[in-house]
Structure 1
Amino acid sequence: MTGLLRYARSEDVALSQNKAHGFAAHNALVHYPSGAVYSFIPKNACSTLRYSMARANNCIAGPEDWTWIHLNNGTFSATLPELVRAPFSFTVLRCPHARLASVFLDKIVDKTPELWQLYRLTRDGFDPDGLSFRAFVALLEGEDLLKVNIHWRPQQDFLVYERYSRVFALEAFREVAPVLRDEIGFEVQDARSLTGHGTDRVELIREGCFADMPVSELAALKRDGRLPAHAQLYDAPLSARVAGLYAGDMTLYATHLDAKMLTFPEFLET
């Protein structure tokens, strides 16, 4: 069976009014054939797993319908009985440094709505073309913006249970498909070719530091089919700052997974 509900007792209110639990429960999706619950976390292979879930739950037929998932994040959200009775639960965690770098290279460099949300919330407080990764981190530190968008919101906020049947690492995602097939009959369908997410289609630059390169220059690199590897967006001071900003996620990862898979395990609090 699944573990104790993580946030149910975090507020002295009716559970229906508990915001932390409500957020986590909204992001807990039910695989109807088995009753299993998957807690999805953006930027952690969630498009692949949500697409797979939509196919398993007989809502879409195949790749031609994949955009359906973007309008149906809450369609399979678990009810309280479904959460409590789930025979199996799973989630995918990711190194916080790599996740934040991925958000920046995807959402901010491509100027998706996430960038313009930040722009509005900071009262047009930065140059969208001139924003660097270091400046992006400073915004999350100083403007109370860490939780305003699900793509960089801390991973721990998405977990509805204290314990899961399986916690997977995005860094070892190849392990997910056979386990889910054996445990609950869930078939993982790779959606990367549909979404265009990920860095598998670009040449990764693994030398130099790109922490201060503006969005305009990073976008030009991307158009040329090149991008800095996630670690190259950091220098030591910036690595330490992000480790502090996501200290809970660093600890969460190390608790469930091999800390050596973290990009900068030396910044893990002991």
Structure 2
Amino acid sequence: MKFRNPSVTSENWRRNTRHQFAADFAQEIYASNSIYSHIPKNASSTMRYSVALANRLITPSTDISWVYANNMTFVPSLRFQTLADYTFVILRCPFSRLASAFLDQIVRRPHMYVMRQRKKGFNRHIVDKIVARHITFERFVLKLRDNPGFLRLNAHWRPQVDFLLYEEYDDYFCVENMGSATKILKEKIDLDVVDTRHLAKHGIDRYKKVVVENGFQLTAPQIQKMKHANTIVDPQCLYSAQLVKMVANLYAQDIDLYWDKFGGENLLFKVR
């Protein structure tokens, strides 16, 4: 089993921040001696809840918020990382994932566009209102392009390759075909995948998608208004030809990985 970012110097292993980052987003599944690499926006609430159920720390009646308060509960030790019998990760079309991150994280929390942490009062009541009037998907992508630190500031839009613990996993699954993942995980490691989308309510699947011309110029309040009407802009409408090129460049490694494992059929845009 080969780590994706092994220590290449004589320094203490725990100073290998790239490996430690990926390890912190890995989760043990005790009974099957397995490791799941958790990538935010990639069915992560469903999978973390399912892992917690499998590890018997929660019951089917446990509130979904448990997983958000216990992100580090099942982080594997280095020994477990090296001796796991089975490893898997769930990927997602990078274009769809970034659109989802914007429609969920940025539209709900505009302060994330300008600062890392929520500050009491001022940020909630002033910054959010000011930023929300101006933030669009186009501006969001431009900031990702022009501010390298912002690209990795938040796990919900950080490149997926950063979360990979291993050079190769036993299985790669994709959000676009979760039915297959659910079946294979049950057969291989007896893991019951419990769909929590109706509980987490972070996705756009519960909204009716509508075509909006120049959707990349919609502001956060306009999108919020659509949500209140149980509609959402179709993710494809968030992209202009120029934005497709920008995102393809920013997330080139993610696109290459996705294409290598699943081909281009489920990519929102064919960039090859």
Alignment TM-score, normalising by the size of structure 2: 0.91
Runs of 5+ unmatched residues, structure 1: none
Matched with 2:37 is 39
2:134 to 123, 130, 134: 130
Matched with 2:193 is 188
1:148 aligns with 2:146: no
Structure 2: distance between partners of 1:12 and 1:148: 28
1:242–1:11 CA distance, 2 compared to 1 (3 A): farther
1:218 aligns with 2:216: no
2:115 to 117, 120, 130: 120
- How many angstroms does 1:200 deviate by? 2.2
SS at match of 2:265: helix
Structure 2: distance between partners of 1:227 and 1:79: 41
The residue identity in structure 1 corresponding to 2:266 is: M
Matched with 1:243 is 248
Matched with 1:61 is 59
- How many angstroms does 1:13 deviate by? 3.0
Structure 2: distance between partners of 1:86 and 1:78: 10
Matched with 2:203 is 198
1:85 to 76, 83, 86: 83
The residue identity in structure 2 corresponding to 1:20 is: R
- How many angstroms does 1:62 deviate by? 1.7
Is residue 63–residue 194 contact of structure 1 (8 Å, CA) maintained in 2? no
- How many angstroms does 1:139 deviate by? 1.2
Structure 1: distance between partners of 2:145 and 2:30: 40
Structure 2: distance between partners of 1:234 and 1:56: 39
Matched with 2:165 is 160
Structure 2: distance between partners of 1:243 and 1:174: 27
Deviations 1:1-53 (A, max 9, x none): xx311001456632211000000011110000111000000000000000001
SS at match of 1:253: helix
1:104 aligns with 2:99: no
Deviations 1:211-254 (A, max 9, x none): 01111111111111111121111011111101111111111111
SS at match of 1:120: coil
The residue identity in structure 1 corresponding to 2:112 is: Q
More deviation in 43-52 or 100-109?
A: 100-109
Superposition RMSD in Å: 1.9
Alignment TM-score, normalising by the size of structure 1: 0.92
1:145–1:11 CA distance, 2 compared to 1 (3 A): farther
1:176 to 148, 165, 181: 181
- How many angstroms does 1:259 deviate by? 1.9
Runs of 5+ unmatched residues, structure 2: 117-122
Structure 2: distance between partners of 1:255 and 1:152: 21
The residue identity in structure 2 corresponding to 1:83 is: Q
Structure 2: distance between partners of 1:210 and 1:83: 43
Structure 2: distance between partners of 1:12 and 1:135: 42
Structure 1: distance between partners of 2:98 and 2:61: 28
